[in-house]
Structure 1
Amino acid sequence: MALPTVLKLLELEDVKVFKMTADTDTAPTYDTAVDIPGITKIGIAPKVENKKLQGDSKLLDIYSKVTEVELDIEFAELSLDAMKVLVGGEVTTSGTTPNQVTTYSLKPDTATAPYFKLEGRWLYAGDGIGDAVVRFYKCKVSDISFEINDASGNFGTVRAKAFAIPCESNNAWFDIDVRESAQPLA
């Protein structure tokens, strides 16, 4: 029996980012996966450009084409390693136990946002489906923010916006895989 092509988007369970090291016409290459902990949302917004053909005092035709894809990502925990992949910067550790210090530092000379791949997996996609995975091959952050609240507030969140860009090798903004058998992300 064929897998369903109608998906229910529930239980986003895992998201990973991979810093892109090269984008060639044969295949992109990436660094090791970095987990985005506490993922709560991936918003996907294809932007459509419309051209209207007017004539004889009426609308004759409309041409519509997706020109870019925008992402809105929200997560509940601040990962310093994920920040490095998303916006650049450096993560360093110094000292020895019990006086270790890990520092995330964003400076002008390390603040160039790299390209990255983003993969997200949701556990429930509907009856007869093991899981589903969305994969964006080449992304770049356009905005990132995080909240730090006092004890009287709620937990802070991290929000990032990014653009997906077609890769050289597959010319795709993203793919969605519907899988009969559930498998964790690599």
Structure 2
Amino acid sequence: MPISRVTKVYSVGDAKISPLTSDPAGGPAVYGTLLDVPGIQEMAISGDVEVKQLRGDNGKLATNVTITNIQVAVTHAKLSLDVLKAIIGGTVTDTGTTPAQKSAWDLTQANATLPPFKLEGVTPPNGVDIVGGDLHWTLHKLTLSAFPDLGFANEDYRVSSFTADADPLIADGKWISAVLNETAVALV
């Protein structure tokens, strides 16, 4: 008997992004190295639909609805220069020697490429109704839809966030996947 397809969804335990490096027709899509989204706090998925109604004879005759967008909003507690490079572009360089090491992310007009990327988030184990199980949300091909929220906060922690729009993969048409696991599977 298959596991239940109905569950609670409690918390987000981990999230990772991966640059999309190839999306050929007929697939498979190819992704780069997984990067941790540090201090993940929220991964909210929403979408837009376009509704068209056919009217005639002084009444409604038919309705057609199309999904026009899937979007994700991510909030995370810690800044990652590697995540910035993966979702916006730019370069990350490490220089110096102890005690004067530096790691810098630089964005220029030429390297602000807004590359496509995959995002996968997971509940902690037991974050679903299945004891020891988990739920994974995967958005297979994302592109930023707004510049990330970055900066400082006066006398408080500054969390970072970004929003991105999903496109279907050319390889297999996937936009979004939800996988409910009987036994929790870590993001690797």
The two structures have a TM-score, normalised by structure 2, of 0.93
- Aligned-partner Cα distance in 1 for 2:180–2:162: 26
**Cross-structure match for 2:14:** 14
**Cross-structure match for 1:174:** 176
Report the CA distance between 1:110 and its aligned residue: 1.0
Counterpart of 1:84, as a letter, is: K
Report the CA distance between 1:137 and its aligned residue: 1.1
- Among candidates 152, 156, 168, match of residue 148 of structure 1: 152
Alignment of 1:43-82 (within 5 A): 43-82=44-83
Higher strand share: 1
Which region of structure 1 is more displaced relative to structure 2, 75-84 or 60-69? Answer: 60-69
**What is the aligned-residue RMSD (CA, Å)?**
1.3
Counterpart of 2:99, as a letter, is: P
- Aligned-partner Cα distance in 2 for 1:81–1:20: 15
Alignment of 1:31-46 (within 5 A): 31-46=32-47
- Aligned-partner Cα distance in 1 for 2:72–2:105: 24
**Cross-structure match for 1:86:** 87
Q: Secondary structure at the match of 1:81?
A: helix
**Cross-structure match for 1:96:** 97
Count of residue pairs brought into register by the alignment? 184
Counterpart of 2:111, as a letter, is: T
Report the CA distance between 1:127 and its aligned residue: 3.4
Q: Contact (CA 8 Å) 1:87, 1:111: kept in 2 or not?
A: yes
The two structures have a TM-score, normalised by structure 1, of 0.94
Please, which runs of 5 or more residues in structure 2 have no aligned partner? none
Percent identity of equivalent pairs: 31
Counterpart of 1:22, as a letter, is: S
